[in-house]
Structure 1
Amino acid sequence: MNRHQQLANYIAKHPEEVGKVVDFDTSTDRLLQFNFTASNSELSPEGIADTARFSNWVNLQLMQNRCRYGIGGYMEHRTLYARSALFDTSNEEPRRLHLGMDIWAAAGTPVYAPLDGTVHSFQNNDRFGDYGPTIILQHDLDGLPLYSLYGHLSADSLSHLQVGQPVAKDQQIAAFGTERENGSWPPHLHFQLMFDMQGMTGDYPGVCRFSEREKYQENIPDPDLILKFSGATII
Structure 2
Amino acid sequence: MTATEKLATYIKANPNAFGKLVDLDPVHDKLYPLDLTISNTELTPELLADTAAFSAWVDGRLAVNNCRYAVGGYMEHRSVYNRSQLFNADGEPRRLHLGVDIWGPAGTPVYAPVAGTVHSFADNNNFGDYGPTIILQYQFTGFTLYSLYGHLSRESIEGLHEGMVIQKNQLIATFGDASENGSWPPHLHFQLMLDIGDANGDYPGVGYYSRRGEYDQNIPDPELVLNFANAIKA
Where on the TM-score scale, by shorter chain, does this alignment land: which range?
Answer: over 0.9
SS of match in other structure, 2:102: strand
Q: Which residue of 2 aligns with 1:193?
A: 192
Instruction: Report deviation, 1:3.
Output: 4.5
- Stretch deviating more after TM superposition (209-218 or 157-166): 209-218
Instruction: Report deviation, 1:61.
Output: 0.6
| Stretches (4+) displaced over 3 A | 1-4
Could you tell me which amino acid in structure 1 is paired with residue 203 of structure 2? Y
Could you tell me which amino acid in structure 1 is paired with residue 183 of structure 2? S
**Equivalent residues in 2 for 1:62-211 (5 A)?**
62-90=62-90, 92-211=91-210
Measured in 1, the distance between the counterparts of 2:231 and 2:8 equals 19
Q: Which residue of 1 aligns with 2:233?
A: 234
Measured in 2, the distance between the counterparts of 1:79 and 1:176 equals 23
Instruction: Report deviation, 1:6.
Output: 2.9
For normalisation by structure 1, the TM-score amounts to: 0.97
Q: Is the 8 A contact 1:155 1:177 kept in 2?
A: yes
Measured in 2, the distance between the counterparts of 1:103 and 1:216 equals 21
Instruction: Report deviation, 1:2.
Output: 5.3
1:144-182 CA distance string (max 9 Å, x none): 100000000000000021100000110000000001000
Instruction: Report deviation, 1:230.
Output: 1.4
Q: Which residue of 2 aligns with 1:31?
A: 31
**Equivalent residues in 2 for 1:30-69 (5 A)?**
30-69=30-69
SS of match in other structure, 2:190: strand
1:22-70 CA distance string (max 9 Å, x none): 0011101001001011110111011011100000000011011111100
Aligned pair count?
234
Measured in 2, the distance between the counterparts of 1:25 and 1:51 equals 29
SS of match in other structure, 2:173: strand
For normalisation by structure 2, the TM-score amounts to: 0.97
Q: Is the 8 A contact 1:6 1:144 kept in 2?
A: no
SS of match in other structure, 2:63: helix
Measured in 2, the distance between the counterparts of 1:22 and 1:72 equals 14
1:83-112 CA distance string (max 9 Å, x none): 00000112x010000000000000000000
% identical equivalent positions: 57
Q: Which residue of 1 aligns with 2:221?
A: 222
Gaps of 5+ in 2: none
